[in-house]
Amino acid sequence: MDVFPDITFQFGSYIESFVNYLNTSLDAFFEFIYIVSSNFINGIEQILIGMPWWLFIALIILLGWYFKSLPAGIVYGVFMFLVGTFELWEDMMTTIAIVMTAVIISLALGIPLGVWMAFSKRFSIVMRPILDAMQTMPTFVYLIPAIFFFGLGNVSAIFATLIYAIPPVIRLTELAIRGVDKEVIESAESFGSSRWQMLFKIQLPQALPTIMAGVNQTTMMALAMVVIASMVGAQGLGEQVLVSINQIDIALGAEAGISIVFLAVIIDRIVGGLADKFQKHRRIS
């Protein structure tokens, strides 16, 4: 039998040394990120948990009515009420807080990076393999540096979710900016528009529907991470799914699982409706 030659390359040890170097050199930076992220997510969670249940359901109905239709809004409200009857209301609020925090950070970083990639071919060439790795790397691998830098808890969950969820909004932002009609850009240039004026008054408005599709994908991918993130101490519905697996609790697993499905459906429809509103507004204008 032909045996592979006795040649080894300890790639993992180099990565470990690099991560150790980052942890030592940027300890204050990671501590700052931990404090800001922790306070941010705790603030959102306290607002959501402190809100009366009927008010939250009413807001969901109104959002569903505005972005889809009144029957859809009523269905979304029923979904939320059912989650409350499962005794998972606070867990759902925690999950929403984690997803919202991860999505807000993803958009704050992803959209500017996508714009940068659209304007710089060199930066795009560098970023594309990185984004490929972020999307194809097994999600469990993200949990290792998350624990190393931030310990167990919701902040680690946000860090792991961010890596998994940010690529779609970056890619679609770049695609949207590059796809803006060149004749429109040439017309703006002929009138003396600066690059920033073209970006904010022409390219971003034209690209907004596609960017919103990226926002939707990022949100769904962030929600898909809630169960995996529970393995690093994230609370919420994902934690309940993990508990049900450990205890072989079919009832709890079914209730927590369907609650995540309800949440995914509502978020997908509302964000999708928001994208449709932007599209209609752009056509009218």
- Does the residue 72 lie in any domain? no
What average pLDDT does the chain have? 86
Closest listed residue to residue 263, CA positions, set 227, 229, 233: 227
d(Cα 223, Cα 238) in Å, to the nearest integer? 10
In a domain, 143, yes or no: yes
Please check whether residue 5 lies inside any domain of the structure.
no
For residue 41, is it within any domain?
Answer: yes
Instruction: Summarize pLDDT for 177-235 with one digit per residue, the tens.
Output: 888 877 777 777 777 777 777 877 788 888 888 888 888 889 888 888 888 888 887 88
What pTM did the predictor assign?
0.86
Number of domains in the chain: 1
Cα 270 from Cα 249, distance rounded (Å): 32
- One digit per residue, the tens of pLDDT, for the chain of length 285 reads 667 777 777 777 888 888 788 888 888 888 888 888 888 888 988 999 899 999 999 999 999 999 888 999 999 999 999 999 999 999 999 999 988 888 999 999 999 999 999 988 899 999 999 998 888 888 778 788 888 888 888 888 888 888 888 999 999 999 988 888 777 777 777 777 777 778 777 888 888 888 888 888 898 888 888 888 888 878 889 889 989 989 989 999 999 999 999 999 998 888 888 777 766 665 555
Residue 282: the pLDDT is: 59
Asked whether residue 55 is domain-assigned, the answer is no
Q: How far is CA 92 from CA 81, 103, 240, 263, in A?
A: 11, 16, 10, 8
Distance CA 257, CA 252 (A): 8
DSSP designation for 200: I
Range of the domain at 162: 11-50+86-284
Asked, for residue 270, whether it belongs to a domain, the answer is: yes
Residue 225 covered by a domain: yes
Residue 153 has what pLDDT?
Answer: 83
41 CB-contact burial (10 Å; exposed 0-12 / middle 13-18 / buried 19+) = buried
Is there a domain that residue 194 lies in? yes
- For residue 226, how many other CB atoms are within 10 A of its CB? 30
- Cα–Cα dist 107/46, whole Å: 22
- Could you tell me the CATH number of the domain that includes residue 232? 1.10.3720.10
Question: What number of other Cβ atoms are within 10 A of residue 205's Cβ?
Answer: 15
Helices and strands, counts by H and E, the chain: 14, 0
